[in-house]
C-alpha cells in the first residue's frame, strides 16, 4: 500500500484519474495536491517518488546519493545520475574497468576508470592491435595503414588519408597539379631525371609517351 503525505490539514476530498494512476486531494490547509499512485515494482513507493521504479526497494537505499537507488544503479558506489554505459555491459562508464564498445578486450580511450589496455581502433574489433606505421591508429581503421598519419586528415572524405592519396596528374608529389608536374615529367622522360621512389603506377608517364607528339619537344 502506498502512503501519501504532504498536507498539513485534514484531507476533505479525493478523486482518481480514469487510468487510476493519479489521485488529486484537497485539504483544509487550502491546498490541492496531485499524487502519482502507480507502483510498478509493488514496493509501496509510487513510481514518481521511487528511485528504482522498476526494481523493488522499499528502503530506497542510495549510497552514492545520485538519486538512483542501489537496486538499479549501474555504479552504486559512484555518483552517476545519467547512468551512461557506452558498451552496454551493465557497468556504468564512471566505474567500468574496461569500457570496450567493440568488445575486443581493449578499452576505448577517454574513460578514466579503464584499467584494460587501450584500443587503437575503438570502433573496430581488432584483437591483434596491428599498427604497421606506428602512428597510434590500428591498421584496420587507419586511412593510411602504411604511412604515418596520426591526425587521419582526409580532406575529400573518401576514406583515404591525404598523406597517402595520389592526386591524378601530381607527378612531382606536391599534392597538387601544376605546370611543375609537366616540367618534372619532361625532365624524367627526356633528360633522365630521377623519379619519385617508388614511382606511382598511376603517374601519367605512359600516357604522355603515347599521346605527346615528339615535335612538341
**CA pair distance 49, 57, nearest whole angstrom:** 12
Contact call for residues 138 and 131 (beta carbons, < 8 A): yes
Average pLDDT on 56-66 reads 96
| pLDDT bucket at 207, cuts 50 / 70 / 90 | very low
Greater confidence (58 vs 3) lies with 58
| pLDDT bucket at 35, cuts 50 / 70 / 90 | confident
Q: Which of 90, 89, 67, 63 is nearest to 78 (CA)?
A: 63
Average pLDDT on 80-93 reads 97
pTM over 0.75: no
Q: Which of 156, 126, 157, 162 is nearest to 141 (CA)?
A: 126
Greater confidence (90 vs 19) lies with 90
Greater confidence (1 vs 41) lies with 41
The top-scoring range by mean pLDDT among 35-44, 71-80, 154-163 is 71-80
For residue 211, give the 3-state DSSP assignment: helix
pLDDT for 203 equals: 43
When the pLDDT of each residue in the chain is averaged and rounded to a whole number, the result is: 84
pLDDT for 209 equals: 45
Poorest-confidence range of 90-99, 100-109, 144-153, 157-166?
157-166
Average pLDDT on 119-142 reads 96
* Cell numbers found for residue 109: 580511450
pLDDT tops 50 at residue 202: no
- Return the domain boundaries, the chain: 179-216
pLDDT for 7 equals: 85
In sequence order, what are the residues at sequence separation of 6 or more whose Cβ sits closer than 8 angstroms to the Cβ of residue 129? 106, 117, 119, 120, 121, 138
pLDDT tops 80 at residue 37: no
In sequence order, what are the residues at sequence separation of 6 or more whose Cβ sits closer than 8 angstroms to the Cβ of residue 198? none
Average pLDDT on 123-146 reads 96
pLDDT for 217 equals: 43
pLDDT for 189 equals: 78
Amino acid at each position: 500500500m502506498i502512503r501519501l503525505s504532504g498536507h498539513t490539514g485534514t484531507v476533505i476530498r479525493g478523486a482518481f484519474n480514469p487510468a487510476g494512476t493519479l489521485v488529486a486531494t484537497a485539504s483544509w490547509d487550502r491546498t490541492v495536491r496531485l499524487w502519482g499512485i502507480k507502483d510498478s515494482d509493488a514496493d509501496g513507493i509510487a513510481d514518481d517518488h521511487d528511485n528504482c521504479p522498476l526494481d523493488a526497494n522499499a528502503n530506497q537505499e542510495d549510497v552514492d546519493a545520485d538519486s538512483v537507488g542501489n537496486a538499479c544503479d549501474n555504479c552504486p558506489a559512484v555518483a552517476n545520475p545519467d547512468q551512461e554505459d557506452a558498451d552496454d555491459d551493465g557497468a556504468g562508464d564512471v566505474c567500468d574497468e574496461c569500457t570496450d564498445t567493440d568488445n575486443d578486450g581493449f578499452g576505448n580511450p577517454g574513460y578514466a576508470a579503464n584499467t584494460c589496455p587501450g584500443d587503437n581502433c575503438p570502433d573496430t574489433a581488432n584483437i591483434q592491435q596491428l599498427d604497421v606505421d606506428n602512428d597510434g591508429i590500428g591498421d584496420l581503421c587507419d586511412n593510411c595503414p602504411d604511412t604515418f598519419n596520426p591526425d587521419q586528415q582526409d580532406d575529400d572524405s573518401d576514406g583515404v588519408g591525404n598523406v597517402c592519396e595520389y592526386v591524378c596528374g601530381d607527378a612531382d608529389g606536391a599534392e597538387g597539379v601544376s605546370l611543375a608536374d609537366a616540367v618534372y615529367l619532361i625532365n624524367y622522360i627526356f633528360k633522365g631525371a630521377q623519379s619519385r621512389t617508388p614511382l606511382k603506377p598511376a603517374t601519367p608517364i605512359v600516357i604522355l609517351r603515347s599521346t605527346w607528339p615528339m615535335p612538341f619537344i
